[in-house]
Amino acid sequence: MTRPAQTLNGPPSPSRPAIEAVRVLAVGGEAGPGPLQGLRQWAAELGVELEWAADLPRATRLLAGGHWQLVLAVLGDRSDEELTWWVDALRGAAGGPRLVALADRPSMGLALRAEKLGVLDVLALPLKRDALAAALARVRAATTEVAVPLPPIDAEAQGHYALVGQSPAMLEVYKLMARVAHSTATVLILGESGTGKEVVARTIHQHGPASGPFVAVNCAAIPENLLESELFGHEKGAFTGAVARKIGRFEQAGGGTLFLDEIADMSLALQAKILRAVQEREIERVGGGESIPVTVRLIAATNRNLQEAIAQGRFREDLYYRLAVVTIELPRLVDRGDDLLLLIGHFARQFGERYHKQIDALSDRALELLRNHQWVGNVRELRNVIERAAIVVSDGTLRSEHLPDDLRAQEPGVPERTAGVLPTLAEAEARHIARVLSHTGGQIGAAADILGIHRNTLTRKMKEYGL
């Protein structure tokens, strides 16, 4: 197969490792007559180099000692658990083997879970030759990837807090940043998770007039009962565990910038105290009676809709107007066009340096997968994916095999589970329910709202489809 090479900078340098046989490890079943009967006799004609492991411990030893491309694992009674175990066990295994799970009567729930986990396929037992051939074809397809050089990154954009991106949406952000940086105005940064709110806050601080430190507090991370003392400090013995006097973040940020991230996660009581600190420019340590003057520039950020939170009575309107003197809204990664490439290049070089690897190319298939991904976690998720790839890459090219299973599960051109056959209504419904549940993080109430059905109906359907 010849795929048109995508040119990013200069002509692509083709690299096509020739694979004559696919190395397959079959686990479970029996080597002789049994549900995998036929596997040995098809091995030669399908170009399979086959090894058999009778049980999990032996399979683990073989996986550790060799380079495999495909693992055929027979699942038992606890198929869901076993599937998760296999996905976990194959993570980081040499050769990045794909998993084909084999089960007696695979449920729709199992198939959908497998899809979500990035399993190549779930096949019914007894194994059929055509089904195996199709799985092998998909494994082979991954070996025809073409390497494309990564774009060069502006040297200035490679610092620890540098902002990478030239999309129109980001240029708008830069303009706003430039406008507010030289003032001491309070700034509210809005944007989905992982869009770089803290990076923007740091950059504003670095280019601003304040000479003091930049202090960041993550309001979502800190347990509610500790957040107050984290922000305002406490006196020794103020509560159990207050083993010594603690200087809070407001004081630590004196003369500088205090960045309150995920501010919507704060309780109303604490919001009132923040408001007082902003208005009065003084704070009180927990367990202390003295008012302490503080001079800080406040930058707040959230990924929530604050107007909605105000309407629901979960966020103080007066605090909102105090914080939103200037509002900067950060774009989602999927709305940043070719910034994706620049960011891939940036992170590939950053992590290449960290892990002592020279990464200068990306395969066409890997790029396609990265472009097609939804990036719920935006730049943070991309950074994580590239770091993980940088750890496992052995030469200078990031390929699809280096990407996480859930990304690989979206390989373009991959047929639906029921190849060539249109899905039944039940299959389509199950798939859609699974997608919505994934979107709501498993919350049934929210999923039922989106689907427009009663939660009891949804629960019944989930049970029916084994979701």
Closer residue to other proteins (CB): 13 or 193: 193
- C-beta of 241 vs 415, nearer to other proteins: 241
Q: Which is nearer to other proteins, 187 or 301 (CB)?
A: 301
Contact mark string toward other proteins, 196..235, x via CB under 8 A? -xx-------------------xxxxxxxxx---------
Measure the CA–CA gap between 432 and 425, rounded to whole angstroms.
Answer: 11
Asked if 99 contacts 71 with a C-beta cutoff of 8 angstroms, the reply is yes
| From 6, 13, 15, 60, residue interacting with other proteins (rule: CB under 8 A) | 60
Using only the alpha carbons of the chain, give its radius of gyration. Answer: 27
Cβ nearer to other proteins, comparing 280 with 329 = 329
Q: Which helix (H) or strand (E) holds 50?
A: strand 48-53
The residue among 46 and 348 lying less far from other proteins, judged by its C-beta, is 348
Alpha-carbon distance values, 227 to 219, 298, 456 (Å): 7, 17, 38
Nearer to other proteins, 56 or 134 (CB): 56
DSSP code, position 274: H
Using rule CB under 8 A, residue 419 touches other proteins? no
3-state secondary structure labels for all residues of 69-116: CEEEEECCCCHHHHHHHHHHHHCCCCCCCEEEEEECCCCHHHHHHHHH
* Candidate ranges 52-60, 108-116, 174-182, 280-288; the one touching other proteins (CB under 8 A): 52-60
Contact call for residue 152 and other proteins (CB under 8 A): no
Site for other proteins in 274-333 (CB under 8 A): 301, 303
459: which 2 tokens? 């629960």
- Give the amino acid at 362: L
Burial-class residue 425 by CB neighbours within 10 Å (0-12, 13-18, 19+): exposed
Q: Long-range contacts for 32-35 (Cβ within 8 Å, ≥24 apart)?
A: 35/74, 35/102, 35/104, 35/125, 35/126, 35/127
Binding mask 436-465 for other proteins (x = CB under 8 A): --xx-xxxxx---------x---x------
Of 147 and 306, nearer to other proteins (C-beta) is 306
Site string for other proteins, 358-397 (x = CB under 8 A): ------------------xxx-xx--x--xx--x------
Residue 381 Cβ, how far from other proteins at the closest point, in Å?
6
Identify which of 116, 120, 79, 83 has the alpha carbon closest to the alpha carbon of residue 98.
120
CB atoms within 10 A of CB 399: 26
Site for other proteins in 92-131 (CB under 8 A): 92
Binding range to other proteins, per CB under 8 A, among 11-19, 89-97, 284-292, 358-366: 89-97
Residues in 244-263 that interact with other proteins by CB under 8 A: 244-246, 261-262
44 binds other proteins (CB under 8 A): no
The residue to which tokens 């998993």 are assigned: 99
Cα–Cα distance for residue pair 78/152, rounded to 1 Å = 49
Alpha carbon 361 to chain centroid, angstroms = 22
Place of tokens 């007066």: 318
Rounded to a whole number of angstroms, the minimum distance from the CB of residue 357 to other proteins is: 14
In Å, how far are 232, 294, 296, 299, 301 from 265, measured between CA atoms? 17, 23, 21, 15, 11
Minimum Å distance from CB 152 to other proteins?
Answer: 26
Min. distance of Cβ 23 from other proteins in angstroms? 18
Q: With respect to other proteins, which residue has the nearer C-beta, 14 or 237?
A: 237
Per CB under 8 A, 81 contacts other proteins: yes
Site residues (vs other proteins, CB under 8 A): 55-57, 59-61, 63-64, 81-82, 85, 88-89, 91-92, 192-194, 197-198, 218-226, 241, 243-246, 261-262, 265, 301, 303, 376-378, 380-381, 384, 387-388, 391, 438-439, 441-445, 455, 459
